[in-house]
Amino acid sequence: MTTGRLASVSSPYLAPDEQDESTDDTPKEACGVFGVFAPGQPVAHLTYLGLYALQHRGQESAGMAVSDGETLTVVKEMGLVSNAFDDRTLSALSGDLAIGHNRYSTTGSSTWRNAQPVYRGVDHVEFALGHNGNLVNTEALAAEAGMLPGTVTSDTDLMAELLTTSLLTRHDLEPGEAFEAALAEVLPRLKGAFSLVFADRERIIGVRDPNGFRPLCLGRLDGGWVLASESPALDVIGAHLVRELEPGEVVVIDRSGCRSLHPFHHDEVDPRLCLFEFIYFARPDSVLYGQSVHH
């Protein structure tokens, strides 16, 4: 077993005003991520409810990205979920899919700039990313990518830049193929504890790190699928828990259904229990690692 304590990362590649200089020694890996693919349903409202159920995992900022198949729209604000979204905002966010994020900063300061999901657009591909956890090889990745010290605002921003760079070499592929190819290239280079949710115009994608340090579960909703950091976010929207993602698993959800990819080398997949999830982060009514947190 391992505690997976990876907080308070300092790197010369983080912008000076983005360094985490807090003296608060409490664990800080507990962001909440959520995703829903449910054509014909109010996905923005469902995401709001899911994030509300995950509010305990992050109170600094909240955001979501919604796609109607043509446009990917990102809305994010500082503060609690209830402060970030009102009925008018949610009603204007119509679409078939959405991802959401509650932030508790690990690397990077608590500013709107670092609120998630982050967005990138490259030619015919655009995507949004929500991230729970943090990387331990940010400096090495930034150096490999030729990024100048002080230009990285967070490890989430770095991941988005790496994916963007990879996408720039894939003009000959369809958007979905290009994005999956970029993920297959970038994900094995990431070292740390993380769960990720992505959205592009037509799909949502969930990723769990090879050790399974950070949680991510898969749920079934009438006419759709759901991804969430914890199972209560499924319960609140009437979805049922199918299973937790396996360590190192990538789940792709679109109109053709749900399928799994395994981009990490099998030698790197080493399931480990993070006690901090049970002790500090998770709700007592959550199911983690196949166990009830309460019991």
Question: Catalytic residue positions?
Answer: 31
Q: The tokens of 166 are what?
A: 């990879």
Contact 154, 108 (CB under 8 A): yes
Strand order in the sheet with 61-67: 72-78, 61-67, 97-103, 32-37, 224-228, 217-221, 240-244
Per DSSP, the residues of 138-188 read HHHHHHHTTPPTT-B--HHHHHHHHHHHHHTT-TTS-HHHHHHHHHHHHGG
Q: What residues contact residue 292 under an 8 Å CB cut-off, 6+ apart?
A: 285, 286
Q: Are strands 224-228 and 32-37 parallel, antiparallel or unpaired?
A: antiparallel
Task: Quickly tell me which residue has 């100048």 as its tokens.
Answer: 148
Rounded distance between C-alpha atoms, residue 233 and residue 40, angstroms? 20
In the DSSP assignment, the letter for residue 96 is S
